[in-house]
Structure 1
Amino acid sequence: MTGGPDEGVPTLFLIAGEPSGDALGARLMAATRRLTGGRVRFAGIGGERMVAEGLESLFPMAELTLFGIFELLPHLPNLIRRIDQTVTEIARSRPSAVVGIDSPGFTVRVARKVRAVSPDIPLIHYVAPTVWAWKPKRAAKYAAIYDHLLAVLPFEPPYFEKEGLACSFVGHSVVESGAGRGDGGRFRDRHGLAQTDRIIAVLPGSRKGEVSRLLPDFGATLGLLRQDHGNLVAVVPTVATVRDRVAAAIADWPVRSILVEGDAAKYDAFAAAEVALAASGTVALELALACLPSVIAYRLNPVTVALYRRLIRVKYVNLVNLMLDRMLVPELLQQDCRPDRLAAELRRLLDDPAARQAQVDGVAEVARWLGQGDTPPSERAAAAILDVVARHRRQSPAQAG
């Protein structure tokens, strides 16, 4: 737990389970410090970004970076142990509020147990579940557990408010990432790239399972593109949890491949690139903010997908396409995630300026919807959390501090 024993200073117990949540948590920590003049303490679970903001993580966040039913099963005993450890720590330390950041497979289970053993601790969830996409009954489930919900999309609050759960639209803090402010010239200079080199950003994900499934197809895709784009250079942004795995996979790719880490290098790469090939996820929003035309791909365990397809109620997986209600950014999923299909879509973007411009024009509207240009979303989220803490203290003065 960071900070000293200062009477009346709130302590927020934050729980992030994957890199996108870690980024949200780090921005939330910084924003909360700004709003309180530094009079706040943090505890919980987070990754390298939250640790850089001063969090002492209860255990490594990498243990929670899992996805898919069958991908999760081998890790279930450890996951249960970590849930119990987290609940025990929250009950012992009695923070001013617990804030789960996405990762519902872990955070909701923790919150449910905390509600049972320490019902007076405020529970907040950051990133509303996509009840409009699948499992609408989750709105009622969240209302039975949480005191407040923070939504990143403007149309989400009514789904939860009708169940009696207070919900604030705060915007998506990806707009604070700097994704659209990279320096392409700096990137080319740093890596000795000529102006004639055509750069493709390749983003295979941040989970071990997804990079293992996607990297072979991505490498084969580059081999097909190289046949008529001999000056192609792949830039592969990665994170620490999968760095070694990604580095080993791209070592024998058929085009020059540059591995980069960190947001600054990633966003410089976006500015230098002409197109991107990316795993589905938050990175799709970063690419939209960078106005980088993209193709989105994903592959899961087939049994997991068969189960999900019975529940999913939307036509697209990419949030850009969902918000526009049309297929602006190509999505190639499961059996369609093949090198020949991926190469065909990327070739169209590389060779057709009109196709590239169509994506750039479409994502501009999405950026506005995500909250760009107003109060930073992280500050809106921090203000909402501090308001929950303040109201709880007024109602339960014995719990203050």
Structure 2
Amino acid sequence: MTGAIVSKPLKVFLIAGEASGDRLGAAVMAGLRGLAGDVEFRGVGGALMTGEGLESLFPMKELSLMGLFEVLPKYFHLKRRIREVAEAAVSWHPDVVLTIDSPDFCLRVADIIKARSDIRVCHYVAPTVWAWRPERAEKMAARVDQVLALFPFEPPYFEAHGLRCDFVGHPVVSEAVATPSDVRAFREDHGIGEAPVVLVLPGSREGEIARLAPVFGAALDQFARAHPEARFALPVAFGAMASIRAQVAQWEIDPILIPAENTRERRAAFKAADIALAASGTVSLELAASDTPMVIAYRMNLLTQYIVSRKLQIDTVTLVNLVSETREVPEFLGSRCTAEKIAPALTRLMETPAAQAEALDLTMQRLGRAGEAPGLRAARAILDGLGMTEASL
């Protein structure tokens, strides 16, 4: 139902700390306005949430910190921001507080809000308790009232501890995919013709790139000797061009580098590719959305790898494998992340690319493709949690 009017404005306090959270927040804000009509928004967000009517308490970029050495110098400032945001929410007393990802910040805010009020708290993006540290589900049940999950297999992990959890779909299903004309233009612009294209995705952070790019380069060099007609395309993450150029200079192949700012060409490369070699992460879902079969490879630093291997609860880290409940996507992790193992897997995939087609399609179906947009589903779940069904709006 759209355009419904409630007797008084719905008050929603939102907190997002990263660009991905800003996108999720903006989508759910649009969904709430469409379903509930008159809605007031306050909190912390970025440009997209501001565009939907949020006046952020302070710039969201203050919270966009990753890694111990980034956070430590800002520790006391972040502590003040946690108190400031919690106090703003408690004093306004909204109908619901929606915290979006960024659990280190958001859940500390939720702790204060719960200690000082009866305000309903909803957290968007379930922590990966199915992968490791399952005890987080029980801890979260004491801190929030509702969780919005991106993956269909997540709700039971939280419901086992009495916490409501709604699967609302993954945002990848709403993202644009390149058209056939975009693909033709990409191939023409780069003189590719009908040659096979291999997409190369060695991560987005400097540490990832430093660990993976040498292995990826060696594997692709081996692959290229067996497939001299192949062309290679490498979409570069924001801020990573210098690192990528330095690494690629050591490779025998010469990939097409696609700047992060060129989103249309990036989408075209995903769709134009015959196969992909990618780091583990959500990029596997972007590849699935473009029907591009893939090989996944990843390695961490030795200490992190040891800790994760001791706590990991699953036998695959590839999201396509998990969502489709198959193991069709080959992955090479840790000590298996070597050129000698990856290169033959790329050749096998090039010979039988259709082998993954069913798993890729099933993944997108299960994530909500062809259904309501995730932002609208999230908005509907929030309203239902407040007891505001469509009949009451």
- Which band: TM-score by shorter chain? 0.7 to 0.9
The amino acid across from 2:101 in the alignment is: D
Q: Which residue of 1 is the match for residue 80 of structure 2?
A: 84
CA contact (8 A) 1:179 1:286 kept: no
How far 1:342 sits from its partner (Å)? 2.1
**Secondary structure at 1:310 match in 2:** helix
CA contact (8 A) 2:131 2:312 kept: yes
The amino acid across from 2:142 in the alignment is: A
Aligned residue runs from structure 1 range 146-185, under 5 A: 146-179=144-177, 183-185=182-184
Q: Which residue of 1 is the match for residue 320 of structure 2?
A: 320
C-alpha distance in structure 1 between counterparts of 2:309 and 2:385, whole Å: 37
CA contact (8 A) 1:151 1:157 kept: yes
In structure 2, stretches of 5+ residues that fail to align are 1-7, 389-393
Q: Which residue of 1 is the match for residue 5 of structure 2?
A: none
C-alpha change, 1:349 and 1:108, in structure 2 (3 Å) is: same
CA contact (8 A) 1:83 1:110 kept: no
Aligned residue runs from structure 1 range 1-400, under 5 A: 8=9, 10-17=11-18, 20-36=20-36, 39-41=39-41, 43-46=43-46, 58-59=58-59, 61=61, 64=64, 66=66, 71-72=67-68, 75-79=71-75, 81-92=77-88, 94=92, 96=94, 97-116=96-115, 118-179=116-177, 183-189=182-188, 191-250=189-248, 253=251, 254-261=253-260, 262-350=262-350, 352=351, 355-388=352-385
**Secondary structure at 2:142 match in 1:** helix
Deviations 1:148-206 (A, max 9, x none): 111222332233223221221212221111247573113223x3323233322222233
The amino acid across from 2:332 in the alignment is: L
Q: Which residue of 2 is the match for residue 396 of structure 1?
A: none
Percent identical residues? 38
C-alpha change, 1:54 and 1:73, in structure 2 (3 Å) is: same
C-alpha change, 1:159 and 1:92, in structure 2 (3 Å) is: same
C-alpha distance in structure 1 between counterparts of 2:53 and 2:246, whole Å: 32
CA contact (8 A) 2:15 2:106 kept: no
C-alpha change, 1:163 and 1:242, in structure 2 (3 Å) is: same
Q: 159-168 vs 235-244, which deviates more?
A: 235-244
How far 1:127 sits from its partner (Å)? 1.8
CA contact (8 A) 1:123 1:147 kept: yes
C-alpha change, 1:325 and 1:388, in structure 2 (3 Å) is: closer
The amino acid across from 2:158 in the alignment is: F
Between Structure 1 and Structure 2, how many residues are aligned? 374
CA contact (8 A) 2:218 2:339 kept: yes
Aligned-residue RMSD, C-alpha:
3.0
The amino acid across from 2:118 in the alignment is: D
In structure 1, stretches of 5+ residues that fail to align are 1-6, 392-401
**Secondary structure at 2:173 match in 1:** helix
How far 1:260 sits from its partner (Å)? 3.3
CA contact (8 A) 1:181 1:290 kept: no
C-alpha change, 1:378 and 1:328, in structure 2 (3 Å) is: same
The amino acid across from 1:294 in the alignment is: M
C-alpha distance in structure 2 between counterparts of 1:367 and 1:178, whole Å: 13
C-alpha change, 1:251 and 1:95, in structure 2 (3 Å) is: farther
CA contact (8 A) 1:83 1:109 kept: no
Deviations 1:275-317 (A, max 9, x none): 1111111111111121101011222121112112222111000
